[in-house]
Amino acid sequence: MKKSFEESLKELEEIVRQLEKGELSLDESIEMFQKGMVLSKDLSKMLDDMEKKVSILIEDEDGNIREENFVRTGDDKGGL
């Protein structure tokens, strides 16, 4: 079963906490780092997929509402 975005993010945050503590062996650290990289890639894909689904409802001058695709503006640092 595929994890939700929130579950994956929580797991990635826990991996970061464990790595930051510095209490893991080198082998454990490498394993956790690899797992974190996979989670990071999966989370990035989930965000990209969600962004493609987002649409904006816009009202024109005549009061008609139309749906448009979401267009991201700004830089790639999370700005919209």
Decide if pLDDT at 79 tops 50: no
Tokens representing 45? 């894909």
The verdict on residue 20 lying in a domain is yes
Residue 79 lies in a domain: no
Q: Is residue 32 within 8 Å of residue 15, measured between CB atoms?
A: yes
- For the stretch 52-69, pLDDT in tens is 777 676 777 787 877 777
- 58, part of any domain: yes
Residue 75 within any structural domain of the chain: no
Q: Is the pTM of this model over 0.85?
A: no
Cα torsion 40, 41, 42, 47: sign: positive
Domain limits at 63?
A: 5-69
Report if residue 74 sits inside a domain: no
Question: What would you report as the CA-atom Rg of the chain, rounded to the nearest whole angstrom?
Answer: 19
Number of domains observed in the structure of the chain: 1
